[in-house]
């Protein structure tokens, strides 16, 4: 059996760096031209501004902010189109301020689905969205009921991560189920918009792990208020994505984390109280990697040795003793997507940086 079925990760995920020009424009990808993005996450690298999140299920112009509980906004002058090989932006300064630097992270789903739970017998709450079983990613829209239930996520594999935001609520933030939090991860929740520690509460995921067809929600309004909700679901794919945990060793020669590929994008968070750390190989093309953004904050790019990491051909390793990445005995969760698989299906190995 081949090591991976995804020899070219750029068919499913790409990072784009661009400089704003203040004029409506289209941005195109350098990698695989078959990637029509369904989830686009943009951040101004030069200024203190919100993270801008868009997806094709909610539709063009619908904005959520990873660092905020704000309800969904509507502005066609930010992201104005999902194109066959990129996306278009308008003149809004959050995405296209003249002479300012931006980063955009892009994921492909691509196959639409709807589920009438009462008719299909799959789940208890109706859902609709877009999925890609090759890459293990789906976007799922549903309306909460306030009663514990289950929702079809569109994948044919068990999600390792589920991220939910109520679209119409300005009081509820971003809830995350992550399998790496603990052996009983379904009892815990962690917030993408906060630096707070993971916490135990059955109201979020109903103390029930996802299955290959549905994920569960409890009665908390953060995941199941009687409002429109959006969920991003991720299942691991060998050689392309990995969602797990590691224990820090408090040493500058940090814990090696095996992913099975050279990461292109890496999100790390202590399960204790500390910021989310987001790095990619476009902003940090050489080791050590330390150009950092914070999904729970509005900061511009930060370059600091406390965020030092080595991006390796088959994983990553902290090169700092700081508690945000490598505190002794501290548990960290991560999400990683590939630049190259460790070995392609034809036996070609990834090279080190």
Starting at the earlier edge strand, list the strands of the sheet with 309-312.
256-258, 315-318, 309-312
Please report the pLDDT score of residue 346 as a whole number: 60
Provide the whole-model pTM.
0.97
Q: Could you report the average pLDDT of every consecutive run of 10 residues in the chain (353 residues)?
A: 82 97 96 90 98 98 98 97 97 98 98 98 98 98 98 98 97 97 94 97 97 98 94 97 98 97 97 98 97 98 98 97 97 96 68 71
Same domain for 216 and 118, yes or no, is yes
Rounded CA-CA distance 76/96 in Å is: 13
Query: Is-contact 288 319, C-beta < 8 A?
Result: yes
Same domain for 115 and 196, yes or no, is yes
Same domain for 100 and 143, yes or no, is no
Same domain for 220 and 138, yes or no, is yes
Please report the pLDDT score of residue 353 as a whole number: 73
Same domain for 147 and 230, yes or no, is yes
Please report the pLDDT score of residue 34 as a whole number: 83
Please report the pLDDT score of residue 348 as a whole number: 66
Same domain for 94 and 154, yes or no, is no
Residue 128 inside a domain? The answer is: yes
pLDDT single digits (tens) 34-45: 899 999 999 999
If one counts the domains in the chain, the total is: 3
Give the structural domain span for 175. Answer: 111-234
Same domain for 276 and 199, yes or no, is no
Residue 189 inside a domain? The answer is: yes
Secondary structure E strands in 201-323: 214-217, 228-234, 241-247, 256-258, 261-270, 277-280, 291-292, 302-303, 309-312, 315-318
Please report the pLDDT score of residue 226 as a whole number: 85
Rounded CA-CA distance 299/294 in Å is: 7
pLDDT single digits (tens) 64-110: 999 999 999 999 999 999 999 999 999 999 999 999 999 999 999 99
Same domain for 152 and 103, yes or no, is no
Same domain for 119 and 226, yes or no, is yes
Greatest Cα pair distance, the chain, in angstroms, is 56
- Of 183, 210, 234, the residue at which a domain comes to its end is 234
Residue 167 inside a domain? The answer is: yes
């Amino acid at each position: 059996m081949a090591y991976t079925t995804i020899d070219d990760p750029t068919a499913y995920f790409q990072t784009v760096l661009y400089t704003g020009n203040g004029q409506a424009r289209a941005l195109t990808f350098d990698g695989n031209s078959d990637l029509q993005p369904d989830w686009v996450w943009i951040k101004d690298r030069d200024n203190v501004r919100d993270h801008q999140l868009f997806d094709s299920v909610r539709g063009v112009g619908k904005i959520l902010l990873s660092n905020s509980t704000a309800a969904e906004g509507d502005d066609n002058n930010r992201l104005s189109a999902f194109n066959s090989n990129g996306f278009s932006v308008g003149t809004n300064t959050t995405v296209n301020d003249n002479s300012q630097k931006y980063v955009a992270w892009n994921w492909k789903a691509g196959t639409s689905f709807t589920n009438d739970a009462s008719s299909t017998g799959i789940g208890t709450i109706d859902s609709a969205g877009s999925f890609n079983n090759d890459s293990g990613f789906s976007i799922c829209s549903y309306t909460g009921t306030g009663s514990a239930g289950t929702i079809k996520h569109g994948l044919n594999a068990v999600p390792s991560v589920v991220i939910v935001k109520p679209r119409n609520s300005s009081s509820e933030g971003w809830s995350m189920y992550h399998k790496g939090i603990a052996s009983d991860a379904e009892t815990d929740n962690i917030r993408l918009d906060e630096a707070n520690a993971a916490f135990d509460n059955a109201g979020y995921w109903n103390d029930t792990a996802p299955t290959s067809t549905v994920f569960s929600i409890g009665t908390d309004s953060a995941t199941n208020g009687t409002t429109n909700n959006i969920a991003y679901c991720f299942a691991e794919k060998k050689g392309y994505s990995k969602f797990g945990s590691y224990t820090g060793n408090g040493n500058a020669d940090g814990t090696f984390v095996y992913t099975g590929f050279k990461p292109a994008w890496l999100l790390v968070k202590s399960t204790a109280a500390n910021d989310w750390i987001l790095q990619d190989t476009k902003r940090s093309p050489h080791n050590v990697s330390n150009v950092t953004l914070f999904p729970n904050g509005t900061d511009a790019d930060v370059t600091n040795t406390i965020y030092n990491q080595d991006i390796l051909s088959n994983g990553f390793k902290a090169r700092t003793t700081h508690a945000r990445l490598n505190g002794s005995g501290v548990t960290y969760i991560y999400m990683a997507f590939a630049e190259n698989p460790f070995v392609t299906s034809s036996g070609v190995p990834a090279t080190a940086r």
